[in-house]
Amino acid sequence: MDIAGSKSSLTWAVHISVLALVLLWLFPTIGLLVSSFRTADQISTSGWWKAMFPSEQNLILRADSPEMQVQEGGLYVIEGDLFEAGKKVDVSVYGVSSRAIDAFVAGEAGELNNGGSITVSPTGHYRMTHTEPFEGTRGQRIFLTATTPPEFTLDNYKNVLLDPSNSEGMAKAFFNTLTVTIPATIIPILIAAFAAYALAWMEFPGRALLIATIVGLLVVPLQLALIPLLKFHNEIGIGKGYLGTWMAHTGFGLPLAIYLLRNYMVGLPRDIIENAKVDGASDFQIFVKIILPLSFPALASFAIFQFLWTWNDLLVALVFLIDSTGETTVMTKQIVELLGTRGGNWEILATSAFVSIAVPLMVFFTMQKYLVRGLLAGSVK
């Protein structure tokens, strides 16, 4: 048996377990952040942990269109660079057909499918020649295997957040999610604070039964109430908008909020409440000027849970926020749609996913010092 004040022999196991949990959470988050700044080609060829190192990629690029050809003596020539000026690349092999992407070594001449020749240098400079004029409206496809330097870009975020012409933009979904989350966090806190004070410090018939009912509601599955609640919302006309979603989140969040706040308020010093009543303070004055300031850790603790739940929620948004026009689409639904329509565009998905977790991360780290204090409310007398 451990002596009081001494450390347990299993402290090292606790530390290792905590470290493992932190790493399990941290690595995917860092990977998502790094991937959101990478290009599609880099994501498809190497993992995020190789983002700082050169990578070998198979690229498909196009030469200039035949409109850019010039005549040099008896030859028609199209010449240019496949990469931006100043970009350091090392092309090893290339080809002009998807069946033979490594047909030619960089720096050596190769034969085009329709006659003529092509040469691609290790730096990406190309030169195509033909005795007949080049025809068509599009440039020749060139398949390259090249080692490219690390590259990071803000284009993903511009595409996701700032491009109004982009149907995949997350900006509107971001503000729609805020419109759902902020009221759905504030409303249950306001209601639960009043209810918790009444259950903790006011005497009235049936109080114990009401507390037992609230505890029982904690285990009611969310899915069990969706259909009857949706029918009720439709009957009173709030089943297809923000109001119905706010009320649904409020109803599902109230049992935990009341339980958590009531446990915290019960543990507050009784002398403060009694002295305030002796001085003539009403219950409302006691609640506003004494209970609420002292209960801030519990309020912040529940606010974290409620905000994270409503922000990441998909089920309630799909059921109660019905909109065929997409005007009220939240971020979780938007990301699901991106998975279905742009499942191969990992740079867009990574950026959208990181945008969706950025706000909850900021809220959590800003208020996490109150989380433990709020959760331990009422556990020690």
Q: Give domain status of residue 2, yes or no.
A: no
Q: 357 in a domain, yes or no?
A: yes
Do residues 136 and 262 both lie within one domain? no
Percent of the chain, pLDDT > 90? Answer: 22
What is the number of domains present in the chain?
A: 3
Given 123, 148, 173, the domain boundary residue is 148
Report the pLDDT averaged over residues 144-157: 87
> For position 196, what pLDDT does the model report?
92
Full residue range of the structural domain in which residue 324 is found: 160-375
How does residue 368 score in pLDDT terms, banded at 50, 70 and 90? confident
Decide if pLDDT at 325 tops 70. Answer: no
pLDDT recorded at residue 164: 57
Domain presence at residue 154: no
- Is position 253 within any domain? yes
- Domain final residue pick, 148, 173, 192: 148
CB 283 within 8 A of CB 202: yes
In-domain check, residue 211: yes
Residue 57 has pLDDT above 50, yes or no: yes
Same structural domain, 175 and 206: yes
What local confidence, expressed as pLDDT, does residue 381 receive? 44
The pLDDT value given to residue 232: 86
- CATH number for the domain that contains residue 297: 1.10.3720.10
pLDDT digits (tens, 9 = 90+) for 228-282: 888 888 888 877 788 888 998 998 899 989 998 898 888 888 888 888 888 888 8
Q: Do 205 and 337 sit in the same domain of this protein?
A: yes
pLDDT in tens, 66-79: 988 999 888 999 99
The pLDDT tens digits for 92-116 are: 999 998 888 889 999 999 998 888 8
- Of 261, 271, 251, the residue nearest 292 (C-alpha): 261
Q: Distance (Å, rounded) from C-alpha 201 to C-alpha 282? A: 12
Pair 38, 115 in one domain: no
* Average of per-residue pLDDT values in the chain: 84
pLDDT at 8: 60
Whether residue 36 is found in the same domain as residue 74: no
94 and 217 belong to one structural domain: no
137 lies in a domain? yes
Q: Are residues 16 and 65 in the same domain?
A: no
Q: In the chain, how many H helices and how many E strands?
A: 15, 9
Is 5 domain-assigned? no
Are 184 and 232 in a shared domain? yes
What percent of the chain lies above the pLDDT cut of 70? 90
Domain boundary among 148, 183, 214: 148
Residues 63 and 207 in one domain: no
d(CA 322, CA 253): 21
Residue 381: inside a domain: no
With beta carbons less than 8 A apart as the criterion, state whether 148 and 89 touch. Answer: yes
Same domain (yes/no): 350, 277? yes
Both 187 and 335 in a single domain?
yes
Q: Is a pLDDT exceeding 70 seen at residue 342?
A: no
CA distances from 289 to 54, 132, 310, 338, 351 (A): 61, 90, 29, 48, 44
One domain, residues 38 and 81: no
331 pLDDT band, cuts 50/70/90, is confident
